[in-house]
Structure 1
Amino acid sequence: MFASADIEIIKTPPRAPRANAIAERWVGTVRRECTGRMLIFGEHHLRVVLTEYTRHYNAHRPHRSLQQHAPEPPCAADIQHARVTRRKIPGGLINEYSQVA
């Protein structure tokens, strides 16, 4: 399948965490901030939790390399007349706040 799409597969050496540093960083972050703090009840539950956490990570979580901004910043709104709502991410592990129009 990969050969038909002209994709070259590069194998990383076993037990070499620096060989794929971006993936290792992602796995470490997910373990520290998400799965290390909750009990996972199977593959389906793990997929649901990781999907929700990935959305949070890419849309709301601050990143050091982006000067503490999220990769997909939300639209700016007038905060004087806006209401704020709280949304619990993976079962209340993280609280996400947003403005309601």
Structure 2
Amino acid sequence: MSDSVLEDAGIEVVLSGIRMPRMNSIMERWVLTCRPITDPDAVAHLDVRRRDRLGGILHEYEHAA
């Protein structure tokens, strides 16, 4: 049910790999980065950059300030 809500908002659901202990901390940092944004128009223009790690097996995302 939540996948369809996110899809309606234009958000792509990406499943993460199992047994990736760093994934939770990475996502927590990303969510905390997005929380201070109060302007709804600014959300559409987030500059999120992806860094491939371990030869592209793991991806890290950061909000470019």
* Superposition TM-score tier, normalisation by shorter sequence: 0.3 to 0.5
> Which has more strand, going by share of residues?
2
So what's the TM-score if we normalise by structure 2?
0.39
> Which has more helix, going by share of residues?
1
Higher relative contact order (CA 8 A, sep 6+): 2
So what's the TM-score if we normalise by structure 1?
0.28
